[in-house]
Structure 1
Amino acid sequence: MDGPVGGPRPRALARAWYAQKRWLYRGGRPHGLARALNDVWGRLYARGWLSLGRGATLQVRGRTTGRTLTLPVVVAEHRGAHYLVSMLGDDAGWVRNVRADDGRATLVAGGRARAVRLVEVPVDDRPEILRRYLDLAPGARPHVPVARTAPLADFRRVAADFPVFRVEERPRQ
């Protein structure tokens, strides 16, 4: 059955979009096109363009190269705190880099860089944050096997698979 104006149904479009997003990150890693798109989005978010106040660029030190790596992220606000979520789970490079560097990172948004410490949130505290993140980050929805409107019990089942980090200010040294 077609949608209201004779085009494809919204669910069919969503399925196609989700399949495309999963293809860009097949194997849990961004491939060539995804890296290029991430670079563009990261630059836009760093300048405060198109981020709607929730996009930022995360800079982390590579655990093997020591080089600064950058990627676009969505910062989810929940109960007065800010959080980053790994839509690709534990194996995402930025997660491993942050863990190896004791949570040190830099967030750039609106042209301002700030040194932060990312503190991993215990699994039991993640479900509400994951739900909030999916509300704000439509690009992450294909990677998280829970509908954003699902009950918290569904988020509890997947919480261990998706690292969540609380953003804290890091004193300048």
Structure 2
Amino acid sequence: MTTVTTPPGNAVTARLQERTEPMSGASHHDPAEGSVLMRLFYRDWHPTRLGRWFNRFQGWWSGLGLPPSVMAALEVNGRASGKRRSQVLAIARVEGERYLVSMLGHQSEWVKNVEAAHGDAVIRHGRRRRVHLAVVPPEERAPILREYVRIARSGRRHFPVAVGASLSEFAAIAERYPVYRIDPA
């Protein structure tokens, strides 16, 4: 861990400038952490307290059906608590299919919960729909990741590729980002 020397009384600045090795075992840093503003919401591939609060607010808002159709709330039972957990996600549409992408990779809590629930979940956008989330193999993820980066304005900051990147660039990072096809339950 590298620490930054700052004048006394400037602890907030020091914390925002501090760079750490990924705690989650990832071999790379979250590209979104390059922005001071985004570091208020995400650290080491996990949401901060402020990020969790904002996600809860977005979940409530999405559940009402107010945001664009590309946004929806995913509800899945927590793997440890059994309580229903809600997360707002962007839905990528490719060749008539709908997909969810984890912008935080395999460390995302919603990914762990979906895996524990064997893909059983609920999508909310105005009304609740029971769905089954099927894992998309890494070799099929590139076009889905490219569409996700195009539509997910805040989510794209977590990807080390540009919006207009080639499919081969997305294929190179596909293993890092879980993708699920949304099927009716």
TM-score bucket of the superposed structures, by smaller chain:
0.7 to 0.9
**Which of structures 1 and 2 has the larger relative contact order (alpha carbons within 8 angstroms, sep 6+)?**
1
Gaps of 5+ in 1: 1-14
Match among 64, 74, 94 for residue 78 of structure 1: 94
Match of 1:10 in 2: none
CA distance in 1, matches of 2:34, 2:106: 24
Deviations 1:63-88 (A, max 9, x none): 11111111111111110000000000
Deviations for 1:38-79, whole angstroms, at most 9, x for unmatched residues? 111111111111x22111001011111111111111111110
RMSD: 1.6
Q: 1:90 to 1:43 in 2, by over 3 A?
A: same
- Relative to structure 1, the CA distance from residue 119 to residue 152 in structure 2 (aligned partners, 3 Å threshold; closer, same or farther) is same
Alignment partners' CA distance in 2, 1:156 and 1:46: 33
Candidates 6, 31, 45, aligned match of 2:48:
31
CA spacing shift, 1:96–1:16, aligned 2, 3 Å: closer
Letter aligned with residue 96 of structure 1: K
Structure 2: stretches of 5+ with no match in the other structure = 1-31
State the shift of 1:25 in Å. Answer: 1.2
Partner of 1:152: 167
Secondary structure of residue in 1 paired with 2:44: helix
The reply to whether residue 121 of structure 1 matches residue 98 of structure 2 is no
Which structure shows the bigger proportion of residues in helix conformation? 1
CA distance in 2, matches of 1:130, 1:38: 21
Aligned residues: 154
